[in-house]
Amino acid sequence: MNIKLVEKKISDIDADIKIEFISKDELSESEEAEILNSAGFKAEQDTTCFLYEKRVIFCGVDSKKSDDIRSAAAAMIKVLKSSNYTSAKVSAISKSSLGALVEGIVLGGYEFNEYKSEPKKATLENIFIAAQDIEFATLEPIFNEALIISNATCFTRDIVNRAPQEVNPQTLCSIAQKLSDDNSLECEILQEDGLAKEKMNAMLAVGRASIHGSALIHLSYKPANPKKIISLVGKGLTYDSGGLSLKPATSMVTMKMDKAGACAVLGMIKAVSELKLDIEVHAFIGAVENMVGGDAYKPDDVLVSRSKTTIEVRNTDAEGRLVLADVLDYAQDAVNADYIFDFATLTGACMIALGQYTTGLMGHSHKLKHDISRAGSDTGEMISSLPFNKHLKKLLKSEIADISNTASKPYGGAITAGLFLDKFIREENKKKWMHFDIAGTAYTETPWDCNVYGATGSGVRLMCGYLKNL
């Protein structure tokens, strides 16, 4: 499906179907008010009414603001794709909502069909967006930007959605290598011998029972004279069985998504390099598989991490923080960044705390939290801050090592996981670091907003929005 911005009035565009966004207030003034009324269409947000004979799809919206347009466009595109028409047209409602319109169409129309023997054949070929009464030159860059970010989000979704027997840590390495070739990025990969030289024993322990070697991937995008340097760190558990602290059968299903942080970070650096932003971006990924076996790491093990901090393992299912401990430590040596952001499907507790629709944000800088929350409102990705405190920090105390990988009480589990990571952030970097727990938002089994079944690509739109405005 192609989506094109055209410098024409909507009436001058030749297409099978016209798309119209309409609010409750506008309903009575519509030319089709009578038919819409008799069809029982009330212009509720995310409802559609397809007038086949008139060749119009009406899409209900609460307002013409970005969040409502994005969500309504996502509902509309599914209806349109299930028809046999080949083209549709819609007018660019406003400069401020054009990006959301593109995102709604691309992300809401996303399908992952790689494993279907007979995927549904989509007939829809073209969607034209009419610049209408707004100057084309002001819309074009917004359109191109939204397309790059939406496609990067789909790139992330595609990797997360692939099955774990196919995407293992070594596959992640090949995917990163290909992205680096395609987008002229630098790529450095440490295989297990390299990890051992770096003394990344926490990360190595997690991957030891897997038949696939663990790897650290470092991609960099380096424009000339960058304004800022950013390090992005991603949890890349290509499968999380829980290890010897085995997950119950029903909780294990969907754990291919435990690589979503890594895949988000890949999507972000892809987008940033295509947007040609003048900031240097480094992506660090800990690619590991958490399995069981005779060689598996165990509850009671004490690991000496790269930073020399010793860690008592009390639960092998709290593996993401062990991998991130070493990758964060490595990243702080490799690059002197202005900001360090990590993305991880880290805790079920984050989902309990905030629900499935909101990413948990943790860190020490109020200003960073504020700026990132702003990017959240601008991009329509919901984020909420979870506050650190000294009492929760004490729950990570270990009797025999420097820190335990599991808090002694389950309450506040997302925050204690964030506080565990904090232990590996150096004093001079405390205010530069933010942790994003995307356990709830990275994957969904029930479609919502512009997210369809499976991976959502959460984090990509948010970070692109933040970095664009740096």
Active site residues: 247, 321
* Of the candidate residues 103, 274, 317, 326, the single one contacting ligand BES (CB under 6 A): 317
* Smallest separation, CB 181 to ligand BES (Å): 30
* Of the candidate residues 180, 210, 347, 404, the single one contacting ligand BES (CB under 6 A): 347
d(CA 442, CA 159): 12
Number of H helices, E strands in the chain: 16, 19
DSSP 81-138: HTSS--EEEEE---TTTHHHHHHHHHHHT----TT-SSPPPP---EEEEE-TTS-HHH
Contact 420, 321 (CB under 8 A): yes
Question: How much of the chain is in helix, strand and coil states, percent to nearest 5?
Answer: 40, 20, 40
Q: Which of the residues 407 through 426 are near ligand BES (CB under 6 A)?
A: 413
Q: Tokens standing for 6?
A: 């055209």
By a kind-dependent CB cut-off of 5 to 8 A, residue 13 interacts, out of ligand BES, Zn ion, none, with none
DSSP 414-445: HHHHHHHHHTTS-GGGGGGEEEEE-TTTSEES
| Residue 223 touching ligand BES (CB under 6 A) | no
C-alpha angle 290-193-340 in degrees, rounded to nearest 5: 65
* Smallest separation, CB 408 to ligand BES (Å): 11
By a kind-dependent CB cut-off of 5 to 8 A, residue 99 interacts, out of Zn ion, ligand BES, none, with none
* Smallest separation, CB 426 to Zn ion (Å): 24
Task: Give Cβ neighbours of residue 31 (< 8 Å, ≥ 6 apart).
Answer: none
Strand, helix or coil at 357?
coil
Binding footprint of Zn ion on the chain (CB under 5 A): 237, 240, 258, 317, 319-320
Strand, helix or coil at 231?
strand
By a kind-dependent CB cut-off of 5 to 8 A, residue 347 interacts, out of Zn ion, ligand BES, none, with ligand BES
* Smallest separation, CB 437 to ligand BES (Å): 9
- Sole window of 68-76, 189-197, 291-299, 342-350 interacting with ligand BES (rule: CB under 6 A): 342-350
- Sole window of 269-277, 313-321, 388-396, 428-436 interacting with ligand BES (rule: CB under 6 A): 313-321
| Residue 238 touching ligand BES (CB under 6 A) | no
Q: Tokens standing for 13?
A: 């565009």
CA distances from 341 to 13, 36, 372, 374 (A): 44, 48, 11, 16
Nearer to Zn ion, 51 or 252 (CB): 252
Which one-letter amino acid corresponds to residue 235? K
| Residue 288 touching ligand BES (CB under 6 A) | no
- Sole window of 91-99, 117-125, 135-143, 312-320 interacting with ligand BES (rule: CB under 6 A): 312-320
* Of the candidate residues 104, 234, 320, 459, the single one contacting ligand BES (CB under 6 A): 320
| Residue 289 touching ligand BES (CB under 6 A) | no
| Residue 319 touching ligand BES (CB under 6 A) | yes
Tokens 């405190």 — which residue?
389
Nearer to Zn ion, 39 or 246 (CB): 246
Tokens 């000339």 — which residue?
224
Nearer to ligand BES, 161 or 347 (CB): 347
Number of residues that bind ligand BES (CB under 6 A): 15
Question: Which positions lie near ligand BES, rule CB under 6 A?
Answer: 240, 258, 315, 317-320, 345-349, 406, 413, 439
